[in-house]
A and B are shown apart, each in its own frame.
Chain A
Amino acid sequence: MKLVHPLMKYVRPGAISTATCAGCGDGIMAQAVLRAIDELELNIDDFVFVSGIGCAGWIPSPFFNADTLHTTHGRPIAFASGVKLARPDRKVVVISGDGDLAAIGGNHLIHAARRNIGMTVICANNGIYGMTGGQVAPTTPLGLKTTTTPYGNVERAFDLCALVEAAGASYVARWTTYHARGLTRSVKKALTKRGFSFIEVLSQCPVQYGRRTGVGNAVAMMKGYKENSLSVKKAASLNEEELKNKIIVGELVDKDSPELTEEIEKVRRIHE
């Protein structure tokens, strides 16, 4: 008897082979998102997946057999806000990379979090511009030698979770591709959460990051995530020096606050 992958039913026929390089963490993320939908027993036809430009933009589009919107660089959250306001009944999920969501589209990210619009944003953070050849990104760790920082990066990296938390999101979590089970749990929670939910996923880029910077292949990068990560609970008891170069994984924010489309509906009812 031939076994069929339980998540293959969500994959668009004709796009079964992923668009990513060998060992890319984006495939693990794609699987985590599909598994969360499967475990929640949600209908994928009720979703609208929005992505931008970059490797991670290929996670939902064309891979997921659902309504997908592959938008311009940095603007998936802007497009997704339009979709959510026009169709509040739909679950809107943005899956894109750090260069797309945090660099060029950083302003959309903070304002969507400030408005607390009901969507889930899953950010694949590989710490580099992978598709264009390994240039430095706002998420590149300090000191890393990339193609555009041959003497080491002198700029500090963005803490995306802290940024989104400060802007007012209802749910914020950080995981790595090594923590695929925790990631699936968080995606399930984010999909059912009222308001803006944000998950940052540290995802390995073995070609432009691992190979060029000498960190190693996909396996070495995932082992690095395993060794350098700490749970939120454990990190709470450590000082700044001990937390240097560590990845804090887990749920960082989980709170209830007013959601934008519901607030708009309230205003509309008053003036009807």
Chain B
Amino acid sequence: MIEIDEDLCKGCEICVAFCAKDVLEMSDKFNKKGVHPPLVVREEDCNLCGNCMLYCPDLAIVVAEEEESG
């Protein structure tokens, strides 16, 4: 699963550009800083490579395997 801390995002779009599976897109909304944060649109395509997390200059993205519930 991918979690984005939208208020840490500065809207550089590196995560969107370097996602191998085209999972992310920039959203239309504004965050606290007044920029457009990315949005997870195709999470089912994500292969957990972690590129977005690795390249995020602001530590705003976390990628982790989904914990099984129950």
Residues in A lying within 8 Å of B, measured CB to CB: 1-8, 11, 16-18, 20-28, 30-31, 177, 180-181, 206, 217-219, 222-223
Give B12's nearest chain A residue, CB to CB: A23
Would you mind naming 29 contact pairs between A and B with Cβ atoms under 8 Å apart?
Answer: A3-B3, A5-B62, A6-B62, A8-B59, A16-B59, A18-B59, A23-B10, A24-B12, A25-B57, A26-B57, A27-B57, A27-B59, A28-B55, A28-B57, A31-B54, A31-B56, A31-B57, A177-B55, A180-B54, A180-B55, A181-B54, A206-B12, A217-B12, A217-B13, A218-B14, A219-B12, A219-B17, A222-B14, A222-B17
Q: CA of A153 to CA of B3 in the docked complex: distance in angstroms?
A: 44
Residues of A near B17 (CB, < 8 A) are 219, 222-223
B41 at the A interface (CB under 8 A): no
Chain B interface helix/strand/loop/mixed: loop
Give A1's nearest chain B residue, CB to CB: B67
Residues of B near A4 (CB, < 8 A) are 62
Q: CA of A30 to CA of B58 in the docked complex: distance in angstroms?
A: 9
Residues in B lying within 8 Å of A, measured CB to CB: 1, 3, 5, 8, 10-14, 17-18, 35, 53-59, 61-62, 64, 67
